[in-house]
Amino acid sequence: MSTQSKSSRDSVEIFERMPVAKAVRTMAIPTVISQLIVLIYNMADTFFIGRTNNPFMVAGASLILPIFNISLSLAGLAGVGGGALISRLLGEKRPEEARRVYSFSVFLSAASAALFSLSVLVFMRPLMHLLGAGADTYGYASGYAFFVIVCGGIPTVLSNTLANLIRSVGESGKAGFGITMGGIINIALDPLFMFVLLPDGMEIIGAGAATMLSNCIACAYFIAALGHMRKKSGDGDGDDGRSVLRLVSPKALPSKASLYGIFYVGVPSAVTTLLFDLDYIVIDKLMSGYNDIALAAVGIVLKAERLPLNIGVGICQGMMPIIAYNYSAKNHARMIETKRYALGLGLVCAAVSILLYELFAGEIMHIFINDAETVRLGTGFLRVRVLATPLMFLSFFHVYLFNGFGEGRYALFLGVTRWLVFNIPMLFFLNWLVGINGIVWSQVTADTLTVILSLVVYRSYSRRHLGETAKSE
């Protein structure tokens, strides 16, 4: 058997023949691990900065989290939009078009990241003030943003885009390894840059430089891994998944239908991420209206709550290529079985996280900072916010489902409604009604409404588009 035909067999095994539970685990476990490492290295900055016991420095780093995550929405535009389409094109046995989609997605990712980094550099001062940076936090926030977003924006966005594109052809292990490696390097470099190479008072600059360098290394790994995968798939234009991961001339654009498909799913993914981070920006802005201690406390909580959230995202990212492939291949029975298994797995993880966070909220806060008032506020905040975990999982689970179907309008509707109709207005309303505790309770309240809406929309769609198999759910 030729190398190419063996590669073709391997690349469709997960999508077509492997038992669903094993296929989801094979795709999801590396993605969950990489998501957790990303979370850990994001929290590592907060952890090491917290060792200074300087709440203003912690607050400055926390202010940049939404902007950093906004840069990742660009990876969603190209990576999720392009990746979901590549999986569907493979299900339709159209590898040449998938190859054009891959190339366009890579070029789109690099160009949009460069534009975003330049914009942050030019508008740094008004942006920091918009985020709520005051006299005590502006210098820390802007210094951190310069390294993480301005200097490190392109490798950060490109590495996350490439991870999504590699995952779309069933190579979840390679995608997960690259993200995990970058995170581990970041964790190792943080104390070196912060406490050894740079003087006291510049710890936040050291954290930013470590993050930038680790993302550059991760990006270099993905470029090397793609070269290795192309060699394994052979030099021809075969129809195996790995063979589509090769750049073609920028003039060889995908068809108009494919360009539409990239943006039809990619834009809702990016917009949803942007609105998610707008929610965090609003939380930071409202908290800064109380005091910087409250801002530092909620900044730690927003990072700590990402643990179960990132696990759920990893499950959904692992599920989506299988959903997309089988949706296009008209194998709705396998698609729905995949959906059920991933849903149950995510809800179990959410339930366990609630138990652990309720029991150990105080200890979790102490990991990051020893300031007594920050710990006291953050402990209460965390115990409330974690109650929304299963609701948050169900909310973005349905968005990923619709992205897999290629139904960007449904994903966009659910994302926009969640943030602009429910979550963000609820923040302002409950803050006005009950003060600081209203900010913390807003997530549970708003996502309850979001889940109800998501279930209604999905049930309606499944009855109309997924045939008899869906009706038997």
- Please write the tens of the pLDDT for every residue from 402-422: 988 888 889 889 988 998 999
Does 1 reside within a domain? no
Q: Residue 8: inside a domain, yes or no?
A: no
What string of DSSP letters covers 103-167? Answer: HHHHHHHHHHHHHHHHHHHHTHHHHHHHHT--TTTHHHHHHHHIIIIIITHHHHHHHHHHHHHHH
132 is a domain residue: yes
* 30 is a domain residue: yes
pLDDT of residue 6: 45
Look at residue 452 and tell me if it is in a domain: yes
C-alpha span between 378 and 366 (Å, rounded): 10
Q: Is residue 251 part of a domain?
A: yes
Of 77, 72, 78, 54, nearest to 140 (Cα)? 54
Q: Provide the 3-class DSSP secondary structure of residue 472.
A: coil
- How many CA atoms, within 13 angstroms, populate the side-chain half-sphere of residue 384? 16
Contacts of 94 (CB under 8 A, 6+ apart): none
Query: Residue written as tokens 């409202």?
Result: 286
Q: What is the DSSP string of 401-435?
A: HHHHHT-HHHHHHHHHIIIIIIIHHHHHHHHHHHT
Q: How far from each other are the two terminal CA atoms of the chain, in whole angstroms?
A: 41
Instruction: Compute the distance between CA of residue 468 and CA of residue 461 in angstroms, rounded to an integer.
Output: 13
Instruction: For residues 118 and 112, give the distance between their C-alpha atoms in angstroms, rounded to a whole number.
Output: 10
Is residue 311 assigned to a domain?
yes
Task: Look up the domain containing 248 and give its range.
Answer: 16-471
Indicate the pTM of the whole model. Answer: 0.76
Contact 379, 361 (CB under 8 A): yes
Q: Which of 100, 112, 72 lies closest to 261 in space, CA to CA? A: 100
| 3 occurs within a structural domain | no
Q: Collect the ranges in the chain with pLDDT lower than 70.
A: 1-11, 41-43, 45-46, 53, 232-242, 467-473
The one-letter amino acid code at 310 reads N
The domain tally of the chain equals 1
Return the amino acid letter for 400: Y
Tens of pLDDT, residues 2-47: 444 444 445 577 787 788 888 888 888 888 887 777 777 666 766 7
227-284 residue pLDDT tens: 877 776 555 455 555 677 777 777 778 888 888 888 888 888 888 878 877 887 788 7
Report residue 420 as tokens: 């602009």
